[in-house]
Amino acid sequence: MPEIAAGFPDRTIAKDQKAARVLAARTLTALYNERPGWLVEAHRLLDEAVAKAYDWRADIGTDEVLQRLLELNLARSVMKGAK
């Protein structure tokens, strides 16, 4: 049954308590805890696309990504402050 709220898209609401329990268990946290193969693959493809967009090697590690993003953000904040 759709829920009508001005300015928001329709969303499914539970028709009874049993359905409410099923919907309550369907969270992003639960999904990430399950780590289904399709989600792992989606993240791998996204990581590759981001690395390619930044012209980084595909196997770049998390620590190096964070360091490079910090450097980029710091450089951008300096450039923004100079305007």
One-letter amino acid for residue 5 of the chain? A
How far is the C-alpha of 45 from the C-alpha of 55, rounded, in Å? 15
Cα-only R_g, the chain:
21
Beta-sheet strands, E only, within the chain: 2-3, 11-12
Residue 2's pLDDT is 57
Share of the chain above pLDDT 90, in %: 64
Extract the tokens encoding 70: 């910090």
In the block, which residue shows the tokens 């910090």?
70
For residue range 20-38, what is the model confidence (pLDDT) as tens digits?
999 888 899 999 999 999 9
Residue 11's pLDDT is 76
